[in-house]
Amino acid sequence: MITIVSHPLVQHKLTLMREKSTDNALFRETLREISFLLAYEVTKDLDLGTREIETPLERGTFPWLEGRRICFVSILRAGNGLLEGMLDLVPDARVGHIGLYRDHATLQPVQYYLKLPEAIGERDVIVVDPMLATGNSSAAALTMLKKAGARRLKFMCLLAAPEGVSAFEKAHPDVPIFTAAVDRQLNEQGYILPGLGDAGDRIYGTA
Ligand code: URA
């Protein structure tokens, strides 16, 4: 299942990020802002617990989200651009990292790093990567997480290609996808068109 977050603020900010004259600092800041808005959607059905507290007038039991039960998993390196904003919203969340690079010849993902919090199977896991292009890296990341025991999984990106959505859904039909837009297609190098270029390079100024 795919959810396209069509909120006007998300769409406006995404256009700003697509614009090639947007510099690295503004790109990074806008990604952080969009991550708040996407996170709002992705987290809207999380289980709420309760907490007993005292207001200035009375004692009572009120809704409470146990942040430590949530785990954000960033697919390095561009995932970190989305992760920062998510952590601002849920500072207690646990964080995992998966290092995958794309072999430019085969477009296949190669794993170089995996670090996850313990008891991953008991957490709500939200995997973040700005670009769902071929779907190979994200699908591989989800496979790694399932092997590690993760059960409640969601995938959040900024931009997707139809090819990536199909590949991801074929590999992981049980994992919902959240994105701001699905663009037209991939080019021969596996970049999304019209897209926004290389998200990692634009976040970190490495182009
Ligand atoms: N990764 C990116 O950063 N950009 C694309 O267009 C595709 C994959």
The per-residue pLDDT for range 88-110, each reduced to its tens digit, is: 999 999 999 999 887 878 877 89
Total domains in the chain come to: 1
| Domain range enclosing 95 | 2-204
pLDDT score of 121? 96
Cβ-Cβ contacts under 8 Å for 68 (sequence gap 6 or more): 92, 93, 94
The per-residue pLDDT for range 35-44, each reduced to its tens digit, is: 999 999 999 9
CA 192–ligand 1 middle distance (angstroms): 6
pLDDT score of 16? 98
Q: Does 133 contact ligand 1 (Cβ within 6 A)? A: yes
pLDDT score of 106? 80
Residues 37, 134, 183, CA angle at the centre, nearest 5°? 50
Query: 68, 201, 202, 206: which one is catalytic?
Result: 201
Spans of the chain, pLDDT less than 50:
none
**Is 161 strand, coil or helix?**
coil
Which residue's CA is the closest to the ligand 1 atom numbered 3? 198
Active-site residue flag, 201? yes
- Tell me the CATH number at 99: 3.40.50.2020
